[in-house]
Structure 1
Amino acid sequence: MWKERITINLNNIGAKIKQMRLRAKKTQQQVADECGISKSLLSKIENGQTASAIATLSKISEALHVPLSWVLDDQEERDLVILSHTNRQFKVGDDNMGYSYELLANRSRFTGIEPTIVHVTPRDMNIRHEAYTHSQDEFIYILEGAIYLRYEGKQHYMEKGDSAYFKGDKPHLFVPVNNEPARVLTVFIDNNL
């Protein structure tokens, strides 16, 4: 049911972010200010010294005008992407974030749709309370289990087969129900491309 966990290569993510920042001729301080994070955190991300929330990486990718999945994916870009479920890597977020995720396609950095599966992992409910925001709209479909979608201060119960579409710039968070795991198909949609 759950696949073997493979750790994200933080150095590769950091190198891509740094490469695109330099290409955009922006300083670390400029990108950090645009994203509402510290220059120190951005430096640690660029140097592969820390994992970061997907929402933070999304803000950075937006500031650099590249899709989040391009930053996260180690694979070469192709016109056609067919990815067998047996070959898909299970990528892990920081346990303190309460989720991990799988990229469903290696796409061009210039497309505006990013499909992923978010694994809402059992955790101590006290670990994270602050919601995430990012610039993309978000579509979610509950594949397995149940979650509470916290959106703009309200909590919505969602179970297998339920879906939602919402603005990512509004505070939101996926929370496991009864501390049980859930799988959520998540599609980030950048309407600015």
Structure 2
Amino acid sequence: MRRKQKTYQKGETVMKKQEENIAAIAERIRGLRDIVGISAAEMAKALDISEQEYLEYEKGQTDFSFSFLYTVANELGINITDLIIGESAKLDIYSYVPAGEGIVLERKQEYEYRHLAYLFKDKKIEPFYVTVEPSDIYAATNKKTHAGHEFNYILEGCMTLFIGEESIYLSEGDAIYFNSIYPHAMQAENGKPCKFLAVIAK
């Protein structure tokens, strides 16, 4: 007797794939951390969270932010895309990404980070096409931090960048360079998405 295949609505399929992806990334982090010899307590300290919070991430029970993945990758001595796709980049002459493509590192309600050079190995910079969606949540209350310096160039829309105790309004054509070790967050303005190029230097 042929077994009836379980079907999913579109929303259920997306959610199921997202959960599977989170679990796969969590498993890679656990395995690599053991290989490198970094304790959960040491990783939690680098992320500025409690060890219990960190272990929830490793269990695949909490979605990952870009800042979390970037910091973990740095601590493990690997590229952030190694955690996402489970294999190392191999190109070393050039990497071409067609319009609208690139690997998505974070896809939450407010943010989408799309990596534009994920196939190139030993990168000195990390280029992203970022979309910040309008949100009722006040971004300044949820600032994140990660190592390196960051450059943002606004392509479309406008946003407020909160960094430290400062807030800077940015619109199309504006650019800003900042030390991303300081807590920061972005808020789309005027009820419309803001799209920008973000380049993070290690």
Q: TM-score range by the shorter chain?
A: 0.7 to 0.9
Please tell me the residue identity of whatever aligns with 1:60: V
Q: CA deviation at 1:107?
A: 4.1
Q: CA deviation at 1:176?
A: 0.9
Residue 66 in structure 1 maps to residue 110 in structure 2? no
CA distance in 1 between counterparts of 2:178 and 2:142 reads: 18
Q: Where in structure 2 are there 5+ consecutive unaligned residues?
A: 1-13
Which digits, 9 at most, give the CA deviation of each residue in 1:88-121, with x for residues without a partner? 35554332xx212211121456433111112101
Q: CA deviation at 1:13?
A: 2.0
| Aligned counterpart for 1:122 among listed residues 134, 148, 154 | 134
Is 2:153–2:175's contact at 8 Å kept on the other side of the alignment? yes
Q: CA deviation at 1:153?
A: 1.3
Is 1:68–1:114's contact at 8 Å kept on the other side of the alignment? no
The structure with the larger Rg is 2
Hey, which of these two has a bigger chunk of helix by percent? 2
Please tell me the residue identity of whatever aligns with 1:82: Y
Q: Where in structure 1 are there 5+ consecutive unaligned residues?
A: none
Q: CA deviation at 1:55?
A: 1.5
CA distance in 2 between counterparts of 1:134 and 1:166 reads: 12
Aligned to 1:185: 197
RMSD: 2.5
Which digits, 9 at most, give the CA deviation of each residue in 1:47-106, with x for residues without a partner? 3222122122222222222233332345652214222125435554332xx212211121
Percent identity, aligned pairs only, is 24
Aligned to 1:10: 22
Please tell me the residue identity of whatever aligns with 1:54: F
TM-score (norm 1): 0.82
CA distance in 2 between counterparts of 1:86 and 1:127 reads: 26
TM-score (norm 2): 0.78
Higher relative contact order (CA 8 A, sep 6+): 1
Residue 88 in structure 1 maps to residue 82 in structure 2? no
Which digits, 9 at most, give the CA deviation of each residue in 1:117-167, with x for residues without a partner? 121011113476232111111111111110111122111111111111111
Describe the shift of the 1:168–1:92 C-alpha distance in structure 2 as closer, same or farther (beyond 3 A): closer
Aligned to 1:143: 155
Is 1:147–1:158's contact at 8 Å kept on the other side of the alignment? yes
